[in-house]
Amino acid sequence: MIGTRRASPLFLAVGIVALEFAAAVTGFVASTLLPVVAGDLGARSDLGLLIAGSTLGLFVALPLASRVLARLGPRGTLAIGMIAYLGGLFLAAMARAAWMFALGQFSAGLASGLLAIFGVSSAIRHLDDRLRIRVIAASSAMWIVPALAGPAATLGLERLVGWRWTLLLPVPFVLFGRLLVVRAARDDTRDDAPRPLLRTLSVPLGAALVVFGKGFWPLALAGAVIAVAGMIAILPPGTARLRSGTPAALGAMVLFAIGYFGADSLITVLLTSELEVSLGQAAIVLSAAPLGWAVTSLVAAKITSARFPVVGLGLTALGTAVVAFGSSFTVALVAWTVAGIGVGLAYPGLYLRATTADASGFTAAELATAVITAECVGQLLGRAIGGALSSSGTGLLASYTLFAAALAAATYAAARRE
C-alpha cells in the first residue's frame, strides 16, 4: 500500500545524485546547442520560447502530480511520464519552428514534474542534515565530468550527426536516474503538502505571458505581476518580505535561481553574439561556472561557515555583471569561473538553511515543497524574463543587468539570519 513503507535513505540519496548527473548532461547539451538551434530555426527573436519551455512544463506539473498519481497509480503515472518525456524530446528534435521546439521541451518538462512525485520531495523529508549535506556535495560533484567533457562532446556530436540527434544524448542518463529514484521511492509517494492548483498555475501562466508578450509590454508586465503574485501566494509566509530565518533563505533561493540560471541559460548566445567568440570558446566559458561550483561545493560542504552564502552570492553577482560587460573571451572566462566558485560557496549552506525547520514552525514536508518551488519559480522567471528581454530591443545586456541585480538581492537575503 502506498505510503506504508519508508523509502531507503541510501537508495534515495543515490537516486538524487544520479538525477543530478542527468540534469548536468541535459543542461550542457541544451545550453551548448542554443545558438545552433536558434540559428537553424530562425528563432533569434524567440529565445524566450526556446529556453523557458521545459521549466514552464515542470511548473505546470507540480500541482498536477499528486492528482495524476491518485487517479492513475504509480505504474500509470510512471508510464505517462516516460511517454511524455520521450515524445517531447523527439518532437523538439524534429522541430521546424520555434513553437514546435518549445512544445517538445514543454512536454519533457511536464513529464519531469510528474515523475518528481516519486521521491524528490519525499527524499528531502527522509534525509537527515548530515546525509543531506553530503548528498548536496555529491550532487555538485556530478557536474564535474559533464562540465569538463559535456560541451566538447556536444559540439563534436553536433558536427557529426547534427543538433537534432545530439539533442537526444541525455535520454539514457535521464531514464537511468529516474528509474533509480522510482525504485527507491515508489512506496513513499504520498504528498503531505499538496500544492494549490490555481495559485500554482498562476506562476507559469504569468511567465507564459512574459514570453509571448515580448512585443507588447503591457502584456509582458501583466504576466510578470501575475507570476510574482502567484509566487508570493504559494511560498511560505514571510518569504516575499525576506523575514529573518528560513523565509529569508527561501527568498534568497528564488533570487539566486533568477540570477544564476537565467544568466547560465543565455551565456552561449551572449558570448557568440555580443563578444563574437566562437561557439567552441563559448562552450569553454559555459563549463567554467558549473565546474567551479562543483569543486568548491566539495570543500564548502566540509568546512561550513555562516558567511559562505553571503560571500558566495556576492561573488556570483560580481562575476555575472563582469561577464556581460567584459571585453574579451579571457575576461568572460575568469568572471564566469568566479561566479561558479561563488555558487559553490553559497549553495550548500543556503540549501541546508532553507530546508531546516526553525522557530518559524514549518514542517519538513512544507520545507521540502517550498525549496523545490522556490528554485523552480526562480528558474522559470529568470529564463522567461531574460529570454523576453533578450529577444526585444533592449538586448542581452539588459537581461544580465537584471540577473546581477537579482543575485545582489539574494546576497542581502542570505544575510538575514536569526
pLDDT for 358 beyond 70 = no
49-84 per-position pLDDT tens digit: 777 777 778 777 777 776 777 777 767 777 788 888
Q: Which domain holds residue 308?
A: 9-414
1 inside domain: no
120 inside domain: yes
- Alpha carbons 404 and 397: distance in angstroms, whole number: 10
What average pLDDT score do residues 14-23 get?
A: 76
Q: What share of the chain is helix, strand, coil (3-state, %, to 5)?
A: 80, 0, 20
Please tell me the predicted confidence (pLDDT) of residue 213: 63
Please tell me the predicted confidence (pLDDT) of residue 5: 45
- What is the domain count for the chain? 1
In whole numbers, what is the pLDDT of the chain averaged over residues? Answer: 77
Please tell me the predicted confidence (pLDDT) of residue 416: 76
Taking the CA of residue 354 as centre, how many other CA atoms within 13 Å lie in the half-sphere pointing to its CB? 32
- Alpha carbons 40 and 43: distance in angstroms, whole number: 8
DSSP conformation class of 260: H
217 inside domain: yes
Please tell me the predicted confidence (pLDDT) of residue 20: 76
> Which helix (H) or strand (E) element contains residue 53?
helix 47-61
4 inside domain: no
What average pLDDT score do residues 168-194 get?
A: 67
- The highest-confidence range among 10-14, 166-170, 354-358, 402-406, by mean pLDDT, is 402-406
Please tell me the predicted confidence (pLDDT) of residue 317: 93
- Alpha carbons 407 and 411: distance in angstroms, whole number: 6
Cell 537584471 identifies what position?
A: 402
- The highest-confidence range among 6-10, 154-158, 208-212, 226-230, by mean pLDDT, is 154-158
- Alpha carbons 11 and 405: distance in angstroms, whole number: 39
Please tell me the predicted confidence (pLDDT) of residue 348: 79
What average pLDDT score do residues 262-290 get?
A: 84
- Alpha carbons 58 and 379: distance in angstroms, whole number: 11
> Which helix (H) or strand (E) element contains residue 311?
helix 308-325
117 inside domain: yes
More confident residue, 122 or 375: 375
Q: Are 304 and 144 in contact (CB under 8 A)?
A: no
Please tell me the predicted confidence (pLDDT) of residue 203: 74
Please tell me the predicted confidence (pLDDT) of residue 301: 64
Q: Are 58 and 113 in contact (CB under 8 A)?
A: yes
Q: Where are the alpha helices (DSSP H) in 195-307?
A: 197-212, 217-234, 246-273, 279-300
Cell 521540502 identifies what position?
A: 368
pTM > 0.85: no
Residue 406's CB is within 10 A of a number of other CB atoms, namely 26
Please tell me the predicted confidence (pLDDT) of residue 194: 54
Of 29-33, 54-58, 70-74, 344-348, the range with the lowest mean pLDDT is 70-74
Judged on CB neighbours under 10 Å (0-12, 13-18, 19+), 394 is middle
10, three cell numbers: 541510501
Please tell me the predicted confidence (pLDDT) of residue 2: 38
39, three cell numbers: 540559428
77-117 per-position pLDDT tens digit: 777 888 888 888 889 889 888 888 888 888 888 887 777 66
pLDDT for 304 beyond 60 = yes
- The highest-confidence range among 215-229, 332-346, 393-407, by mean pLDDT, is 332-346
With cut-offs at 50, 70 and 90, classify the pLDDT of residue 236. Answer: confident
> Which helix (H) or strand (E) element contains residue 144?
helix 144-161
Residue 76's CB is within 10 A of a number of other CB atoms, namely 12
More confident residue, 273 or 181: 273
How many residues belong to the chain? Answer: 418
Residue 165's CB is within 10 A of a number of other CB atoms, namely 12
- Alpha carbons 316 and 74: distance in angstroms, whole number: 40
What average pLDDT score do residues 27-52 get?
A: 78
Assign 351 to helix, strand or coil. helix
Assign 308 to helix, strand or coil. helix
Task: Write the CATH number for 307.
Answer: 1.20.1250.20
Q: How far from the centroid of its chain's Cα atoms is residue 69's Cα?
A: 24
What average pLDDT score do residues 320-326 get?
A: 86
Please tell me the predicted confidence (pLDDT) of residue 1: 34
Q: How far from the centroid of its chain's Cα atoms is residue 232's Cα?
A: 19
Please tell me the predicted confidence (pLDDT) of residue 3: 41
- Alpha carbons 400 and 324: distance in angstroms, whole number: 6
pLDDT for 29 beyond 70 = yes
pLDDT-above-90 percentage for the chain: 8
Q: Which long-range contacts (CB under 8 A, 24 or more apart) does 72-79 make?
A: 74/2, 74/118, 74/182, 74/186, 74/189, 77/114, 77/115, 77/117, 77/118, 78/115, 78/118, 78/182
2 inside domain: no
303 inside domain: yes
Q: Are 291 and 143 in contact (CB under 8 A)?
A: yes
pLDDT for 264 beyond 80 = yes
Please tell me the predicted confidence (pLDDT) of residue 4: 40
Of 22-31, 216-225, 241-250, the range with the lowest mean pLDDT is 216-225
